[in-house]
C-alpha cells in the first residue's frame, strides 16, 4: 500500500518518497506554495511558463524536447493550481524506470538534474529573464485567462465561488487577471522569481522504485538551494456566518442556463466531521445514485446535469446544473429540497450504501496513477491530515446516517449564481 514517507526536511522544504514498484515509471514532483493573492497570482503563473522555455544547457523549448526524447521519451510539465487559498506552482517529470531500459541509463539522476536546472538556471539576458520569452508567455497567459468563458459550466462554478468569496483570497483566479499581466516585465518577474526560489515553502514528492543512494542525491541537491526567510502560508478562513444569501445573474451567449448554488459547509478538511461531509456530499450529488441525479435530473427532468462537489480546503460546496432558462426558480427550489431532505434524515439505504461504495471506488482508482497518488498526499499535507488510502476508506465506512444528518445541519446556502442568455 502506497504511503508518503518524509525523507528530509530543511530550509522550508519537505521531501517525501512514495515507494510504488508496481509502476514502470518514476516521477519527481516539486511544488512551491504561495498565498493566493491578486498581487502575485499572474507572476506565479508566468514563472513556470518562462522557466520551461529554456535553461543553460538546453536553451530553447526544442532543446528541452530533444533531450526528453533522449531520456527514453520522459515527460516534463509545469503549471499552477489552487487548493483553498494556496496557489501552488508545480514542476513535474516522469520517466521509465531504469530496470526496464536494459542498460545503465541513469534516467532518474538525469531527469532530476534537468528539472533542477530548469528551476535554478534559466536563460538570462542582461541580468533578467529573456524579454521575448516573457512577452510571448504574457500573451499566452492573457489568452488562457480570456478562454475561461469557453467552458460555461466551469465558468459558472468559478464565478459562483468568486461571488461567494468576494474580498477573500479564494476569489482570485488560479492564473491571475489580465489587467495584472501588463505591469509585468522581464526585470520585475526575475526579481519575483528570485524571491520565489528563496522564500516559498517547497514540497517534493518522488514516486516509483528508487534506490536509497539516488534519493540521497536529490536531498543533497535540493537542500543546497540558497534559501532565505521562508514565507508562512496561512490556511485561510473556513467557518463564516451567512447573513444574507447573495444572488447574481450574468448574461452571455448560452443556449441553456448554468445554475450554481454555493454553500458554506463550516467544516475543515482536518476535522473528523470531514468524513461525514464527504458522505453527505456524495448522497446529495456525487453520482447516479444521488438525490440530485435521481430527483432533479431523472424524476423532474429539470436539469441536463446536476452534481455537487466540495472545495474542501475552503469549506465550500457547490451544486452545479444545466437547465432551461425559464426553469430557474423551480430548479432552485427542488435542488434546495434535496439538501433539506438530508437534514431531515430522509436518506434511503440505497443512497447511503451507494455513496460509501462510490467513495471507496473513487479512492481506490486514485491508486492507479502516480500523479493522482502525489496529488492525494499533497492534499493531505496541505490539510494537515495524515490519512493514507486505507485509513480514509476505513473512516468513511464508519460514518452513519446520523453523522450525515448532523454535518448537513452545518451547511448554509451563501450564493445563487445564474448564467443566462443575453
pLDDT per position as a tens digit, 284-297: 999 999 999 999 98
10 Å CB burial of residue 280 (0-12, 13-18, 19+) is buried
**Contact present, 210 and 28 (Cβ < 8 Å):** no
Count Cβ atoms below 10 Å from residue 216 Cβ, excluding itself: 12
Q: State whether 140 and 174 are in the same domain.
A: yes
The confidence score (pLDDT) of residue 130 equals 97
| Per-residue confidence (pLDDT) for residue 101, from 0 to 100 | 85
Residue 185 lies in a domain: yes
Number of domains in the chain: 2
Q: Are residues 145 and 266 in the same domain?
A: no
Cβ atoms of 236 and 314 within 8 Å: the answer is yes
Question: At which of 169, 189, 223 does a domain end?
Answer: 223
State whether 217 and 250 are in the same domain: no
- In this predicted structure, the answer to whether residue 216 has a pLDDT above a threshold of 90 is yes
Percent of the chain with pLDDT over 90: 93
Q: Which residues pair with 260 in a beta bridge?
A: 320, 417
Q: What is the largest CA-CA distance in the chain?
A: 68
Average pLDDT score over the chain: 96
pLDDT at residue 161 above 80? yes
User: Do 218 and 302 reside in the same domain of the chain?
Assistant: no
143: containing domain? 4-223
pLDDT of residue 239: 87
Q: Is the pLDDT of residue 125 over 90?
A: yes
Bridge partners, residue 318, by sequence: 262, 309
Residue 155 in any domain: the answer is: yes
pLDDT in the model for residue 280:
98
**Percentage of the chain exceeding pLDDT 70:** 100
Give the domain-ending residue among 191, 223, 255.
223
Q: Assign residue 354 the CATH number of its domain.
A: 3.30.830.10
Above 80 in pLDDT, residue 155?
yes
Q: Which helix (H) or strand (E) holds 16?
A: strand 13-19
pLDDT of residue 16: 98
User: pLDDT-derived band of residue 180, with 50, 70 and 90 as boundaries?
Assistant: very high
Looking at the fold, whether 162 and 90 belong to one and the same domain comes out as yes
Does residue 102 surpass a pLDDT of 80?
Answer: no
- Relative to beta strand 124-125, strand 128-129 is antiparallel
Angle at 30 between CA 366 and CA 76, to 5 degrees: 80
Split at pLDDT 50, 70, 90, the class of 236 is: confident
268 pLDDT above the threshold of 80:
yes
Residues 297 and 355 in one domain: yes
> What does the pLDDT read at residue 373?
97
Q: Are 72 and 63 in contact (CB under 8 A)?
A: no
- What is the 3-state secondary structure of 63-117? HHHHHHHHCCCCEEEEEEEEECCEEEEEEEEEEECHHHCCCCCCHHHHHHHHHHH
pLDDT attached to residue 353: 98
C-beta neighbour count of 171 within 10 angstroms:
17
Say which range, 101-105, 245-249, 276-280, has the weakest mean pLDDT: 101-105
Domain match, 280 and 391 both? yes
Mind listing the pLDDT tens digit for each residue in 312-348? 999 999 999 999 999 999 999 999 999 999 999 999 9
Rounded to an integer, the average pLDDT of 287-310 is 93
* Residues contacting residue 290 through CB under 8 Å, at least 6 positions apart: 282, 283, 284, 307, 308, 351, 355
149 with 276, same domain: the answer is no
Pair 173, 263 in one domain: no
pLDDT tens-place string over residues 353-384? 999 999 999 999 999 999 999 999 999 999 98
Q: What is the pLDDT of residue 386?
A: 87
User: What is the pTM assigned to this prediction?
Assistant: 0.95
Amino acid at each position: 500500500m502506497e504511503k508518503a514517507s518524509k525523507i528530509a526536511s530543511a530550509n522550508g522544504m519537505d521531501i517525501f518518497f512514495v515507494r510504488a514498484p508496481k509502476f514502470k515509471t518514476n516521477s519527481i514532483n516539486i511544488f512551491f506554495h504561495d498565498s493566493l493573492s491578486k498581487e502575485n497570482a499572474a507572476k506565479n503563473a508566468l514563472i513556470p511558463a518562462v522557466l520551461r522555455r529554456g535553461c543553460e544547457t538546453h536553451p530553447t523549448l526544442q532543446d528541452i524536447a530533444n533531450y526528453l526524447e533522449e531520456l527514453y521519451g520522459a515527460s516534463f510539465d509545469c503549471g499552477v493550481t489552487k487548493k483553498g487559498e494556496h496557489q501552488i506552482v508545480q514542476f513535474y517529470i516522469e520517466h521509465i524506470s531504469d530496470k526496464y531500459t536494459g542498460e545503465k541509463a541513469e534516467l532518474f539522476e538525469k531527469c532530476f538534474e534537468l528539472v533542477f536546472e530548469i528551476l535554478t538556471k534559466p536563460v538570462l539576458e542582461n541580468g533578467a529573464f529573456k524579454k521575448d520569452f516573457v512577452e510571448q508567455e504574457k500573451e499566452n497567459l492573457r489568452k488562457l485567462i480570456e478562454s475561461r468563458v469557453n467552458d460555461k459550466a466551469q465558468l459558472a462554478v468559478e464565478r459562483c465561488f468568486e461571488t461567494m468569496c468576494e474580498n477573500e483570497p479564494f476569489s482570485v483566479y488560479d492564473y491571475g487577471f489580465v489587467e495584472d499581466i501588463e505591469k509585468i516585465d522581464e526585470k520585475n518577474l526575475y526579481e519575483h522569481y528570485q524571491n520565489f526560489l528563496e522564500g516559498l515553502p517547497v514540497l517534493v514528492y518522488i514516486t516509483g522504485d528508487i534506490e536509497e543512494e539516488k534519493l540521497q542525491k536529490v536531498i543533497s541537491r535540493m537542500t543546497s538551494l540558497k534559501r532565505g526567510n521562508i514565507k508562512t502560508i496561512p490556511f485561510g478562513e473556513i467557518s463564516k456566518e451567512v447573513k444574507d444569501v447573495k444572488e447574481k445573474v450574468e448574461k452571455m451567449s448560452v443556449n441553456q442556463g448554468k445554475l450554481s448554488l454555493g454553500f458554506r459547509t463550516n467544516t475543515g478538511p482536518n476535522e473528523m466531521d470531514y468524513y461525514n461531509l464527504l458522505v453527505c456530499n456524495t448522497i446529495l450529488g456525487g453520482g447516479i445514485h444521488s438525490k440530485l441525479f435521481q430527483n432533479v435530473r431523472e424524476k423532474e427532468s429539470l436539469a441536463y446535469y446536476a452534481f455537487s462537489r466540495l472545495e474542501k480546503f475552503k469549506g465550500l460546496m457547490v451544486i452545479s446544473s444545466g437547465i432551461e432558462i425559464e426553469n430557474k426558480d423551480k430548479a432552485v427550489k427542488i435542488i434546495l429540497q434535496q439538501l433539506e431532505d438530508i437534514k431531515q434524515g430522509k436518506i434511503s439505504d440505497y443512497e447511503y450504501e451507494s455513496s460509501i461504495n462510490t467513495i471507496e471506488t473513487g479512492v481506490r482508482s486514485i491508486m492507479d496513477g502516480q500523479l493522482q497518488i502525489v496529488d492525494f498526499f499533497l492534499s493531505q499535507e496541505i490539510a494537515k491530515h495524515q490519512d493514507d488510502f486505507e485509513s480514509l476508506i476505513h473512516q468513511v465506512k464508519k460514518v452513519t446516517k446520523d453523522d450525515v444528518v448532523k454535518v448537513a445541519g452545518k451547511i448554509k446556502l451563501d450564493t445563487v449564481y445564474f448564467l443566462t442568455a443575453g
